[in-house]
Homo-oligomer: A and B are copies of this chain.
């Protein structure tokens, strides 16, 4: 079966002035997106940060629920946390997918903003996921992925527009909606 994974990047991302910066891993992003990843059948949830202390934090949060006191308290959470893989950068995610599938993963970037890069529709993305052994959906924290990541990606998914000319979803909400649109069969 083809692998669909999600990578949450804490670097390189942009702040509200479109400057490149590094964000901190937040507990709520680890929990909410791990739960969504498990619900929508993802293969892996990559937490990406170049900062060693932040990588340790990500591992500590996940392992508390896998091996620690959290396991007996909430076994459902444990199943979600098992999807977490902490990586220093996007290349680490690509290498891991490559090791598992012996093929290059397809990278689909997400953004709430319009960009120079042409976007693909949700239907296009479903087809791409179906046709490839491994696909990684890339999400940026802060104010979104750095332009260099979007350029490097094979595709850019069209934004979630909502209905009101306002599209400022949290990354947790956006990830859930995108996974729902890409994986659930519609009647």
Contacts and interface: CB of A to CB of B under 8 A. Distances in A.
Interface in A154-187: 160-164, 166-170, 172-177, 180-181, 183-184, 186-187
From A160, A170, A184, A186, name the one whose CB has the most chain B CB atoms within 10 angstroms.
A170
A31 interface: yes
A39 interface: yes
A130 to B, nearest CB: 13
Interface string A131-171: 00000000000000000000000000000111110111110
Contacts of A173: 32, 35-36, 172-173, 175-176
Contacts of A35: 168-170, 173
Q: How many copies does the complex hold?
A: 2
Contacts of A181: 180
B32 A162 contact: no
A41 B76 contact: no
Nearest to A174: B176
A168 B38 contact: yes
17 contacts: A31-B170, A32-B172, A32-B173, A35-B173, A38-B168, A39-B162, A39-B163, A39-B167, A40-B163, A41-B162, A76-B166, A169-B176, A172-B172, A173-B176, A177-B180, A180-B181, A186-B186
* The 9 nearest A-B residue pairs measured at CB: A39-B162, A173-B176, A41-B164, A41-B163, A32-B170, A177-B180, A76-B168, A38-B166, A163-B183
